[in-house]
Every structure is written in structure tokens, then in C-alpha cells.
Amino acid sequence: MRMTDRDLEGWTVLFDLDGTLVDSAPDLIGTLNRLLVEEGLPPVEMEAASTLIGSGARALLVHGFEAAGADVERARSEALFERFLVDYAGHIADGSRAFEGVVDTLERLKARGAVLAVATNKRSDLSELLLEKLRLRHHFAAVVGPDRVSARKPSGAHLVEAVRTAGGDPARAIMVGDAAPDAQAARDAGMACILTTFGYTPVPVEDLGGDVLIDAFEDVEEAIDGLLADFYVSRALRG
């Protein structure tokens, strides 16, 4: 039985947070829209604005404000960014939920011996808070935001350092994400990359160069099995 095989022993699976583990757009865009309205600007539409998620809160804020017609200086104001962080922390799990199948899939991967970690461009304290509120924190050996690495995604350093923080080997790690920073970081780090088709990206996910696309979170396990089969076959061929 695979559940007791522990055939993923020695492997680390890294997960992006927003758009991969958690559908967090309702609260991120909720905060953005509260600030826009407070500033006398029109709110942005959820579906379109969610494609701005994936490069961190500041990028979302700046691009969201610019999309609503704010000038660059206003959009980049430090005071506005502080207000964003405070508002978001107070509403971080109002409407955000884990995607369907997340808990069961993480449990199965751990039962097979994999070490799990989060590599996200959301600040580490906010990532920990969100995962705690959704009762997901205990699944991960490490939660690594941009403030805990030498360079954030799309740099491969984010993924390599996240794997090391989790106690794993970067040569035996797989990235699961939803957007360009995830795919680029995986390429940069020399890791295989699985991409969700239900996350947030302004570019069609098919064009991001992921190794496998998945339409449901539970398909992560089958995708990992396929990537590992390729890994061991190519290693055997190399002799």
C-alpha cells in the first residue's frame, strides 16, 4: 500500500500560498477596495484584480491603485502600504478558504514521507497568520516569505532557501504554484514545477512553462508521481 510506503521520503514539496493552497483573493481585493473607496477612487472588479496577486502586497496595491486611476506617487505611498497591511491582517481569513482537496492531499503526501513547505511572496507573518486561521499551519515544516530569503520569487534563491529551511535537499524538490514568479523561480532553481489552472495569473497559465498543469488540487499527487517517474528514469538512463 502506497500510504505506508513512504516512497516520497527525502523529497520536499514546496507550495505557493495565494492561488495555490488558498483562494485568498476575496480578502486581498477586499482590503484593496476598502482603501480605494477611502481614497475616493472606484473599487476594482474581483476577477480582474485577482490576476495582480502573486508578487506581494506592495505590487498588488500599486498596480491596483494605478488601475483605478491613481498617480504613481499616491500608489507608492509608504503610509498607504502600512494601511494596507493593517487592514489585511484584520480581515485575512474573512472570506479566504483552502482550495478543495488541500487538506486530504497534504495529509497523503506527508504519509508518504514528503516534507512540505510554503514559499510565498506574502510576508511571512501574514502567511503564518492566514495558515493558522485556516488550521493549515501544522502541515508545513517551514513557511518562507520574501522577508526570510536573500531574493524573492521569481528568483530561484527563494525556493532553494525554503527547501533548506525545511531541512530538505534542493536537488530533490518540486514546486507547486500558480503564476509566473513560481514557474520562473522553479526554472531558476532547476526544480520541476506543477501549476494550478485555478489560481491568479494575468498571462495564460499554459504559457508559463510549467512541467504539469493541474485543474484540481488533488491532482498534485498524480503530477508528483509522474515527475518522480521521469526523474528516476532519466537518472537510470544516465547510468
Residues that bind ligand PGA (CB under 6 A): 16-19, 53-57, 60, 120-122
Query: Minimum CB separation from ligand PGA for residue 120, in Å?
Result: 4
188 close to 155: Cβ distance less than 8 angstroms? yes
Beta strands 212-214 and 192-196 are parallel
| Beta carbon nearer to Mg ion, 30 or 54 | 54
Residue number closest to Mg ion, CB atom: 19
| Beta carbon nearer to ligand PGA, 30 or 56 | 56
181 close to 188: Cβ distance less than 8 angstroms? no
Give the footprint of Mg ion on this chain (CB under 5 A). 16, 18-19, 54, 178-179
Among 87, 77, 21, 101, smallest CA distance to 53 is for: 21
- Cell matching residue 54: 502573486
Query: Minimum CB separation from ligand PGA for residue 41, in Å?
Result: 21
- Cell matching residue 165: 529551511
147 annotated as ligand-binding:
no
16 annotated as ligand-binding:
yes
Beta strands 22-23 and 192-196 are unpaired
Query: Minimum CB separation from ligand PGA for residue 226, in Å?
Result: 23
55 binds, among ligand PGA, Mg ion, none (CB under 5 to 8 A by kind): ligand PGA
56 binds, among ligand PGA, Mg ion, none (CB under 5 to 8 A by kind): ligand PGA
Q: How many CB atoms lie within 10 A of CB 217?
A: 22
The DSSP output letter for 101 is T
| Beta carbon nearer to Mg ion, 178 or 211 | 178
Distance, CA of 157 to CA of 154 (rounded, Å): 9
Choosing from 5, 16, 94, 182, the catalytic residue is 16
120 close to 16: Cβ distance less than 8 angstroms? yes
| Beta carbon nearer to ligand PGA, 109 or 175 | 175
18 annotated as ligand-binding:
yes
Annotation says 182 is catalytic: no
**What residues are labeled active site?**
16
